[in-house]
């Protein structure tokens, strides 16, 4: 599994303050599905862009990431918030430091595509969610037209599927829907959003932890 040094080195190449892709679209999707006073876990919180928005909207936020550098930036971004953001460093392949059934929602923005053990990762999400709690996530979409557009450009294909890149999984709408269904989530809804057909688009997913 990648070491912490690997994840820290990835963040060294990311300019501080760089707005996440499709930020406004994903923020709107997230805030429309989280209520004031709810406890939300932001998985792969990075610099805390979404964690800060959740806190400003009245949620109680816990942010976790596998590198210290993004958490340092997140603390700076959230400075002055009351209560302060609860930001925690976690192991990439270990259990999340939360009790069972302890959060109302889990948000993972552009995170699941970086995960090697997808089943184990989703099991952690299900474990920490309260019965009836929501999993909310976004990930790049890889529908047929997007893959075709990449295939028609040798340079774009090579860049997108560079074996040195940190994207490990590539999701379609149907594939992500089936995955969430199979791993114990209910009321699964996955839609495609973002740019024009053939350009970068993303999947926005909502699923509910069963009440048993």
Residue 83 in tokens: 């209560």
Peptide bond into 56 cis (omega under 30): no
Q: What is the pLDDT of residue 81?
A: 86
pLDDT of res. 6: 84
- C-alpha closest to that of 81 among 121, 52, 101, 114: 52
Residue spans of the domains in the chain: they are: 4-209
pLDDT digits (tens, 9 = 90+) for 57-80: 999 999 999 999 999 999 999 988
- State how far the alpha carbon of 189 is from the alpha carbons of 20, 34, 41, 138, 173, in Å: 23, 16, 20, 12, 9
Domain 4-209 has CATH 3.60.15.10: no
In this prediction, residue 199 carries a pLDDT of: 66
Return the minimum-mean-pLDDT range out of 37-41, 163-167, 200-204, 207-211.
163-167
pLDDT category of residue 167 using cuts at 50, 70 and 90: low
* pLDDT the model gives residue 10: 87
Give the integer Cα–Cα distance in Å for 122 and 209.
11
Does residue 89 contact residue 65 with C-beta atoms inside 8 Å? yes
Question: Who has greater pLDDT, 82 or 42?
Answer: 42
Q: What is the pLDDT of residues 103-162, one digit of tens each?
A: 999 999 999 998 989 999 999 999 999 999 999 999 999 665 555 555 555 675 555 555
Tokens standing for residue 20: 């996440």
Which residue did the predictor score with more confidence, 30 or 94?
30
């Amino acid at each position: 599994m990648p070491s912490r040094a690997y994840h820290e080195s990835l963040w060294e190449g990311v300019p501080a303050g760089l707005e996440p892709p499709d930020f406004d679209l994903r923020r709107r999707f997230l805030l429309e599905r989280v209520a004031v006073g709810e406890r939300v876990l932001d998985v792969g919180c990075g610099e805390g862009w979404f964690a800060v928005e959740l806190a400003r909207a009245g949620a109680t936020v816990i942010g976790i990431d596998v590198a210290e550098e993004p958490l340092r930036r997140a603390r700076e971004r959230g400075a002055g918030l009351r209560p302060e953001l609860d930001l925690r460093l976690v192991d990439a392949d270990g259990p999340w430091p939360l009790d069972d059934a302890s959060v109302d929602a889990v948000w993972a923005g552009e995170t699941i595509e970086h995960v090697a053990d997808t089943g184990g990762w989703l099991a952690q999400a299900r474990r920490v969610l309260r019965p009836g709690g929501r999993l909310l996530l976004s990930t790049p979409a890889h529908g047929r037209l997007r893959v075709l557009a990449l295939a028609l450009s040798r340079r774009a294909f090579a860049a997108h599927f560079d074996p040195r890149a940190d994207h490990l999984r590539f999701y379609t709408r149907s594939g992500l829907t089936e995955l969430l269904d199979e791993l114990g989530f209910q009321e699964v809804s996955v839609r495609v959003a973002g740019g024009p057909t053939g350009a970068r688009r993303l999947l926005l997913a909502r699923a509910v932890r069963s009440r048993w």
